[in-house]
Every structure is written in structure tokens, then in C-alpha cells.
């Protein structure tokens, strides 16, 4: 895997969960916010018991998401922050105004101008990314087209993913390639399929990048990333992408287009029939889970 983040020492601290201001130090939030010249940055600035205080600087919009296990409180310091809710309601916060979003509520934040806000949440809060607009009417398209929210530069990154797929085939692997782009538009990491050469059935580039992101990026940064891939992710990779909290996926080929590109009788490993049996031994199996989820 090529990790471009490691090549940018000045940007290394963007993508971790370290607290900026340790206990018993003065947190100069105005200075920290004024140092940001990107469209989106998010920092853990303070820790309070099991919770943390985040400072976010943004212009634009986040992905729809929810926190299933933690409320989230926003306090605006500068600009105006809009919080869209899945039911169509929109909350607008000006400097000095705050609002709590209860756990489980689907929402997104956005700002037409530069906005600076504090966010208070559980340090271990999990983020579920909602990949589709919850208010949109679903439509079936074949072949699929790039959605209206496609951003400038998408095709350039897709062409790089396709080039990585070609490199994978040339190396003797399956023709798939992917790259992960950060909120500021820089490529963070890229990879290609290595199922054959590394004898690894999980060697899909999307899965490898999702695992990399889960280790290297904080939740807020991951939410602002885009994964570009030469083909629509399989079910295994799609689940890993969701668990890693990546905010957006842009693909070239759709999964339902692949059969037309394969010769008749070509192997389809995802179609292998497996016999699953269960559930069983409920009272014994539940013991490790009792109390784990609160």
C-alpha cells in the first residue's frame, strides 16, 4: 500500500485522535482555529472524563450520519452552522448558540461560510455513515450514473483507480484498484488487488484501505474522506467501509455491469453456496455478551 500521508510531515497530525491540549494547559481555541486554511479540519482539543471536546472548522457539508451510542452537543463560535435532520427539519446556530442532537438521530452539518464550532461527545462514540440522502426517493438505474453531488476532480481520481486496476492485472492479480482521498483533496493512500500474488482471499483494495483508515484516521476525518475505486465494492468491502466510517464512495464500474464483461462460465467466488446452521446453545452463547453492550 502506498501511504501518501507518511510523505507529508506537515500534515501528519491531521489524522489522529491525540488531544491537542492536555489537562492543566490553557486551550487557545481562537489561535488554533485561525491556523486552519482548509475547508475542513477537526481536532480533539480537550478530554473530560470519558468525553471529549472537539473543535471543527468547516465550509461545506458533512455526510449524513448518526451516533448510535452518544448524544452530540454543538456550540458555534464563529459563522453559522446548519444541522439538517432526516425529517426535513433544519437547525441554524449562530455564534453563542448551542444544540444537542440525541443519539440515534440521523443528521448532517453544513455551512455556506466558514464556521467554527465546538462539539461535545463521548470519546468512544461510534459513527454510522448514511450513504444515501435519507429524504431522497430511491431509483434503480442501469447502468448507474454519477450522482448530482459528484465533485470536481472525481474523474481524475477514478482514472487513477482504473490505472491501479490495470497494474494489478499486469502483476497477475484481479483487475481492481482504489485510492482514499482526504477532506482537503489530497490522496492519503492507494492500493490494488493482491488476491493472487499474496494468496490472500481478502486482498481487495477497498478492504485494505478501510482497514488503514480505521487504524490511522479519527472519526471526523474519516467521515470527510472519499474512496475512489475501479469497481463497486463487494459486500465484504462495503461492510468494512461502513465500519471504518468513510464518508463517500465513488466507483467506475457497477457490480451489475461485470457479468457483461466476463465470458460465460467465468468463476464467481461470491456466488459459492455455503450451508449455514443455527442458532443453537443460546444460554451458553449469551454469557460472553451479558453486560457488554450496557
What single DSSP character describes residue 258?
Answer: G
Pick from 35, 30, 44, 29: nearest CA to 10: 35
Cα separation values, 250 from 126, 131, 179, 254, Å: 23, 11, 10, 10
**Which of 121, 190, 206, 232 is labelled catalytic?**
206
C-alpha cell at 151: 465533485
Whether 206 sits among the annotated catalytic residues: the reply is yes
Pick from 289, 204, 247: nearest CA to 62: 247
Chain centroid, CA 130 distance in Å: 10
**Helical residues (DSSP H) of the chain, grouped into ranges:** 29-34, 154-170, 205-216, 219-223, 235-244, 282-285
Q: Cβ–Cβ contacts within 10 Å for residue 202, how many?
A: 13
* Residue bearing cell 453492550: 293
R_g of the chain computed on alpha carbons: 21
Q: Cβ–Cβ contacts within 10 Å for residue 257, how many?
A: 14
Q: So which residues are the catalytic ones? A: 206
Amino acid at each position: 500500500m502506498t501511504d501518501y500521508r507518511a510523505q507529508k510531515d506537515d500534515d501528519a497530525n491531521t489524522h489522529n485522535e491525540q488531544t491537542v491540549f492536555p489537562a492543566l494547559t490553557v486551550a487557545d481555541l481562537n489561535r488554533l482555529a485561525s491556523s486552519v486554511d482548509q475547508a475542513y479540519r477537526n481536532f480533539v482539543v480537550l478530554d473530560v472524563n470519558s468525553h471529549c471536546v472537539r473543535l471543527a472548522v468547516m465550509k461545506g457539508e458533512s455526510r449524513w450520519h448518526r451516533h448510535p451510542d452518544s448524544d452530540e452537543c454543538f456550540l458555534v463560535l464563529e459563522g453559522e452552522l446548519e444541522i439538517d435532520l432526516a425529517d426535513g427539519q433544519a437547525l441554524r446556530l449562530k455564534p453563542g448558540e448551542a444544540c444537542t442532537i440525541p443519539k440515534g438521530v440521523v443528521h448532517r452539518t453544513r455551512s455556506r461560510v466558514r464556521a467554527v464550532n465546538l462539539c461535545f461527545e463521548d470519546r468512544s462514540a461510534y459513527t454510522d455513515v448514511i450513504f444515501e440522502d435519507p429524504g431522497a426517493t430511491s431509483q434503480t438505474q442501469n447502468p448507474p450514473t454519477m450522482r448530482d453531488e459528484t465533485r470536481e476532480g472525481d474523474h481524475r481520481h477514478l482514472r487513477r483507480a482504473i490505472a491501479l486496476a490495470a497494474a494489478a492485472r499486469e502483476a497477475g492479480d484481479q483487475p481492481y484498484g482504489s485510492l482514499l482521498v482526504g477532506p482537503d483533496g489530497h490522496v492519503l493512500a492507494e492500493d490494488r488487488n493482491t488476491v493472487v500474488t499474496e494468496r490472500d482471499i481478502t486482498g481487495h483494495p477497498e478492504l485494505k484501505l478501510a482497514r488503514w483508515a480505521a487504524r490511522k484516521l479519527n472519526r471526523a476525518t474519516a467521515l470527510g474522506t472519499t474512496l475512489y475505486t475501479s469497481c463497486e465494492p463487494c459486500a465484504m468491502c462495503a461492510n468494512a467501509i461502513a465500519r471504518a466510517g468513510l464518508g463517500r464512495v465513488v466507483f467506475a464500474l457497477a457490480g451489475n455491469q461485470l457479468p457483461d464483461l466476463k465470458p460465460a462460465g467465468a468463476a464467481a467466488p461470491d456466488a459459492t453456496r455455503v450451508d449455514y446452521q443455527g442458532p443453537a446453545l443460546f444460554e451458553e452463547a449469551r454469557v460472553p455478551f451479558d453486560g457488554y453492550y450496557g
